[in-house]
Chains A and B, each alone.
Chain A
Amino acid sequence: EAQVTQNPRYLITVTGKKLTVTCSQNMNHEYMSWYRQDPGLGLRQIYYSMNVEVTDKGDVPEGYKVSRKEKRNFPLILESPSPNQTSLYFCASSFTGRAGELFFGEGSRLTVL
């Protein structure tokens, strides 16, 4: 089954404790992206990757890092989480030529105390 898998789905952590949210897709998509969803703000792009070893900042990259060492994986790293990073995070992927036709993961709800 074609899917984008995120882990963990739910996480409560404390300020400053490094964490990684993993994302994996099985559709051989070149393009992958991370979004955060906050009430009243819709989805905002954090980082994106056009292909392996090619990553770039989205609209709200501060406090986040990503890597793309393999085509299927695109982890999101919070080196020192802060409460303003409490949010619902989505990973998405697509073929480069059809970048708007995104496949989304089920989301990771992160709470930073």
Chain B
Amino acid sequence: GEDVEQSLFLSVREGDSSVINCTYTDSSSTYLYWYKQEPGAGLQLLTYIFSNMDMKQDQRLTVLLNKKDKHLSLRIADTQTGDSAIYFCAESPGSSNTGKLIFGQGTTLQVKP
């Protein structure tokens, strides 16, 4: 079935780069997404990538997609304390016409000053 896996925790120092990894199972996924959840808040869409792309860059964020290995990563350059949050990877299954997203468990990013 459809599944999305992420590591649960990542700790970095302020100013370093953060790389959050995700694997998914549905090779027919058309879009893959990264959402951010700050403490006490709902999820906020950070960025997304279409399945025929390898890379997408948006300011400090770089998304890499390896479709062969079904691996997605989010790199945050010059990580700041304000980046501390839970990051969710999500796929939009190709078999679904319902708009459903399959979310990973979320990776908690801790940024140390």
Residues in A lying within 8 Å of B, measured CB to CB:
4, 31, 33, 35, 40-45, 48, 50, 56, 58, 90, 92, 94, 96, 99-107
A107 and B38 CA atoms in complex are apart in Å by: 12
The reply to whether A42 and B104 contact each other, CB–CB distance below 8 Å, is yes
Interface size class of B (residues with CB under 8 A): 20 to 34
The reply to whether A56 and B98 contact each other, CB–CB distance below 8 Å, is yes
The reply to whether B103 and A107 contact each other, CB–CB distance below 8 Å, is no
In the complex, the number of residue pairs spanning A and B with C-beta atoms less than 8 Å apart equals: 63
Q: Which residues of A contact B41 (CB under 8 A)?
A: 106-107
Q: Which residues of A contact B85 (CB under 8 A)?
A: none
The reply to whether B105 and A41 contact each other, CB–CB distance below 8 Å, is yes
A31 and B90 CA atoms in complex are apart in Å by: 17
Given contacts A33-B99, A50-B99, A94-B99, contact A104 B105 (CB under 8 A): no
CB neighbors of A among B19-75 (8 A): 31, 33, 35, 40-45, 48
The reply to whether B42 and A100 contact each other, CB–CB distance below 8 Å, is no
Given contacts A100-B90, A101-B48, contact A45 B43 (CB under 8 A): no
Q: Which residues of B contact A4 (CB under 8 A)?
A: 42
